[in-house]
Amino acid sequence: MLIGTDGTISVVWEKKSPTNSLLLTEMCNCHCLMCPQPPKAHDKTLTEINSRILNLVKIEKNQTICLTGGEPTLLKEDFFDILGVINKKHPKTNVMMLTNGKSFANF
């Protein structure tokens, strides 16, 4: 759980859940009219928090990590850092990513 400066408590990982999501960023490069989450500037603490979560949790067999945002690929090096932590700490875990795919258009 995370406790915000205003006293709000957020559950960040549920041990028994088949899928846990990590919000990597609120940045987005689509600006869809119907989007319920308008884009925001990236908060670097999200990368630190997600790395700490991944280093602390024990992921059970058949659990999935979902990387989401905004658009996770906009993080560039921070995105690869998160993938590196997953690969090192949880090499057999299923990883799913919610993406608009725009970043894959230009390798």
pLDDT in tens, 58-100: 998 889 999 998 899 999 999 999 999 999 999 999 999 999 9
C-alpha torsion sign, points 19, 25, 30, 33:
positive
> Treating both helix axes as pointing N-terminal to C-terminal, what angle do 44-56 and 77-89 enclose, rounded to 10 degrees?
10
pLDDT at 107: 63
- Residues contacting residue 36 through CB under 8 Å, at least 6 positions apart: none
pLDDT at 71: 94
Over residues 2-33, the pLDDT tens digits come to 888 899 998 999 999 999 999 999 999 988 88
The C-alpha atoms of residue 44 and residue 19 are separated, in whole angstroms, by 24
Model confidence at 104: pLDDT above 70: yes
The C-alpha atoms of residue 78 and residue 72 are separated, in whole angstroms, by 9
